[in-house]
Structure 1
Amino acid sequence: MPDFYALLPAERGDRPGQLLRTQAIAVPELGRQTRAWRIMYVSNDSRGEPIPVTGTVFSTTSMAQPHPTLIVVYCPSFHGLGGQCAPSQQLLTGDEPLEQIREALDRGWTVAVPDGENLGVTGLGPHTFLAARASGHVALDLARATQAIPELAPSHTPRAPIVLWGYGDGGRAAVWGAELAVEYAPDLDLRGVAAGAVVTDPGALVRTQHRGPWAALALAGLIGLSRAYHHLPLRHVLTEDGRSVARHAEQLSAATLLAQYRQPLEHWCERPDPWNDAIWRFVLTRESRSSAGTPAVPVHLYHGTHDPIVPIESGGGLFTEYQRRGIEVSWREYDANHFRTAIDSTPEVADTLASFLRRPPTQNGQLPRP
């Protein structure tokens, strides 16, 4: 059987959400009633250029329904930079956390999990970690592609209600998806968004985490953004040793990155504060806030009070900003660290998403007036 992740020249589409390939798979951990597919579809990168991406879709329905399924696009936290870190691959090896997927499936929802730009498809890496615009595109286009899967696509019915859910870097993707949806995907019936531990300013993350136990995240961010903006000379801040390390690191999982590269980011750079380089300031500013638009759907934000990776001020600042802009937004704090919050929040977040899905459909990206 040909490698699912090897892209054929004839499969390069140009329509966002275009379904290129599907493959039914088995995920025993989710039970016999769950059907699953790996899919390859078209999205857009940070510059608006078409790219092939992959993801996984789960459903507990036994056949195509006479009414549209409820879809939750779940964007996971950072897995790593190498293609083998793609959630669609880790699901088959039993290495992908399933709490959020199970919660959504138990409620009868179809669950779609994006791999992210340059994860999955062979030869395109490394993953563009912290490139938020592309991650928003990938999430929204997965919702489009999911509705095109023949086994899930009902005939002669309205578009499917959709919610976005993400945590960590996935929460960042969900928020950007909400801001981009009005202009980028007005065809989608997006009902709401839930996002936890959202990084609103990647420059602040790099400055606060470039030393200490999470220093490899700063290195991963430099690698990911330099891949997303490959037309800019971003890796010029690295030393010769740094460039060698980057070539190695771009193949690794998050766990291996954190274990192997504990040195401060400056250890691999020509200067002690590479984020203050003029080109890097430009990129970090572009990625710090989408300015793409105002979400037309309700947003639920949540954060752990003892989060050592993404300071609670990051999510709290976004909550305050959304309030100021008149966006319907809610906030929840959990007395836990980054990893515990992701699990403890699951039932409550799913309840919030269920309330969003019960709302009237959106029309051209705008909520109907009461």
Structure 2
Amino acid sequence: MAVQRAVSRARRAAARFGTRQRGPDGRRFGRAGLVGIAALLLAAGTGLGAGPAAAGPIYPAPDPDAFYAAPADVARFNLGDVMRSRQVPAPNYPGATAWQLLFRSTDSQGGPIGAVTTVLVPPGGGANRPVVSYQPFVNALGLRCAPSHALFDGGLREGPVLNLLLGRGWAVAVPDHLGPNSAYGAARLGGRITLDGLRAVQRFAPAGLGASPMGLAGYSGGGMATGFAAALAPEYAPELPLVGVAEGGVPMNIGKLALDLGMQPNPLFGLGFAAAMGLEREYPGQLPMEPILKPVGADLRNRIANGCTDEIIAAGANRSLPDVFSGPLDADPDTVRILHENSLEIFPGVPRIPTYVWHGTNDAVSPQLVREVVGRYCGSGARVQLDMLPGTDHGTAIPEGSARAFDFLADRFAGAPAPANC
């Protein structure tokens, strides 16, 4: 009963997030666009910050490849500086030249970190051709699942799509936007890493992209990182030559979405649990899970600490909050603050570049919140084209919207006037 009481308290606390949006049952999430959200945090974990001191987060096993380790003097580098680079084979991208760059970025506490982006350049070299930073919908806790690995081992489901961008003559940068601890759910971190990754692309002379126009694209969890990059850019990276952003299926408020999932067993429960673990990693000491975990929850936490998407889903399938958490739990200001920091609805920044947003009208991720955020952007002077795709859900909206998104970016690179339906 403690968890049920906590959920009732969390629902009463929902006023901190605004009116709760009701969506379809959690089972409606499309498999292709699985959402990177803290699906537990508000429904049961508004008390994650409460309780006695406990052991810290479970971090992923270090990557055995020494390339990924930030140097001891990482703090002396400027944001976006390339600290290490290497050329890698790219058999999945015929004719492309691929580099991986370790660059300096910053975490959610303001501390220096190393992050990685993979740069693919089509045949003919860089020649200051357009660059698209593509943020995949990575739902993972293990470093082996990061895009810089998954691009080449077949694990990145969106990987083949990048050939369409390369075929347009564009270079593509794919950042490991979950960061060096695979902090799944930390969307604002993803935005910073995305922007610093583009700085690194600019500064890496062998790629030949120092004066390239740049665009951003991503869907679902990748759309969260993309949306934050666009909203952060005016203050965080105003010097970048960004000409357009395309984002789809974006969860605009992870706290509200958490409430909508409720108490029932859900086949995707593991993803929400994993997002709570990712945020615990990114905000150490502020969201300790251990004091409120039942043995089943502690076992799940250990099992998925290095998991990729399918492993996380399988381990947590059809679990529910009462299965893994015990009480008493109370609303906690740290949780509310952290959810706000990682929700585009709350974040005050506004994109200052032409923006394309698409969303399915039948998506379990609230279409109404998307309309409201776009309305706020428009009211602040942003130029936004919003496409609500009739009859599509979180998975089926991907192909139609992606085709329009890439055409939108092509027009921005060509210098065409940006459309808007504000």
TM-score band w.r.t. shorter chain: 0.7 to 0.9
Q: Contact 2:232/2:349 (CA < 8 Å) preserved in 1?
A: yes
For 1:364, the equivalent position in structure 2 comes to none
Question: After superposition, where does 1:15-34 map in structure 2 within 5 Å?
Answer: 15-31=78-94, 33-34=95-96
Q: Contact 2:300/2:315 (CA < 8 Å) preserved in 1?
A: no
For 2:173, the equivalent position in structure 1 comes to 112
* Per-residue deviation, residues 188-236 of structure 1 (Å, max 9, x unmatched): 0111111101111111222223542222222122111111111414325
Work out which of the residue numbers 61, 82, 86 in structure 1 matches 2:142: 82
The letter of the residue matching 2:164 is E
Question: After superposition, where does 1:140-179 map in structure 2 within 5 Å?
Answer: 140-153=195-208, 159-179=211-231
Work out which of the residue numbers 218, 221, 231 in structure 1 matches 2:275: 221
SS in 2 for 1:30: coil
For 1:121, the equivalent position in structure 2 comes to none
| Displacement of 1:250 | 2.2
Question: How many correspondences in the alignment?
Answer: 347
Q: Distance in 1 between matches of 2:152 and 2:363?
A: 30
Percent of residue pairs identical: 28
For 2:33, the equivalent position in structure 1 comes to none
Q: Distance in 2 between matches of 1:26 and 1:83?
A: 20
Q: Distance in 2 between matches of 1:14 and 1:303?
A: 39
Q: Contact 1:72/1:163 (CA < 8 Å) preserved in 2?
A: yes
Range moving further from structure 2, 232-241 or 54-63: 232-241
* Per-residue deviation, residues 94-116 of structure 1 (Å, max 9, x unmatched): 22222431221111111001112
Q: Distance in 1 between matches of 2:249 and 2:327?
A: 30
Within the alignment, does 1:307 sit opposite 2:363 as a pair?
A: yes
For 2:256, the equivalent position in structure 1 comes to 204
Work out which of the residue numbers 97, 116, 125 in structure 2 matches 1:54: 116
SS in 1 for 2:310: helix
SS in 2 for 1:147: helix
SS in 2 for 1:165: strand
Range moving further from structure 2, 128-137 or 258-267: 258-267
CA RMSD of aligned residues (A): 2.5
Question: After superposition, where does 1:1-370 map in structure 2 within 5 Å?
Answer: 3-9=66-72, 14-31=77-94, 33-65=95-127, 68-96=128-156, 97-118=158-179, 124-125=180-181, 127-153=182-208, 159-209=211-261, 211=264, 212-235=266-289, 238-241=292-295, 242-262=297-317, 263-271=319-327, 276-289=331-344, 291-308=347-364, 310-334=365-389, 335-359=391-415
Taking structure 1 as reference, are residues 64 and 359 closer, same or farther at Cα in structure 2, changes over 3 Å only?
closer
Q: Distance in 2 between matches of 1:318 and 1:186?
A: 22
**Unaligned 5+ residue runs, structure 1?**
119-123, 361-370
The letter of the residue matching 1:191 is V
Taking structure 1 as reference, are residues 52 and 169 closer, same or farther at Cα in structure 2, changes over 3 Å only?
same
The letter of the residue matching 1:43 is S
The letter of the residue matching 2:275 is G
Taking structure 1 as reference, are residues 188 and 206 closer, same or farther at Cα in structure 2, changes over 3 Å only?
same
Q: Contact 2:294/2:323 (CA < 8 Å) preserved in 1?
A: no
Q: Distance in 1 between matches of 2:333 and 2:129?
A: 47
Taking structure 1 as reference, are residues 2 and 319 closer, same or farther at Cα in structure 2, changes over 3 Å only?
closer
Q: Distance in 2 between matches of 1:49 and 1:60?
A: 35
Query: Larger RCO: Structure 1 or Structure 2 (Cα < 8 Å, ≥ 6 residues apart)?
Result: 2
Taking structure 1 as reference, are residues 41 and 339 closer, same or farther at Cα in structure 2, changes over 3 Å only?
same
Range moving further from structure 2, 80-89 or 91-100: 91-100
The letter of the residue matching 1:166 is G
Q: Contact 1:63/1:151 (CA < 8 Å) preserved in 2?
A: no
The letter of the residue matching 2:371 is G
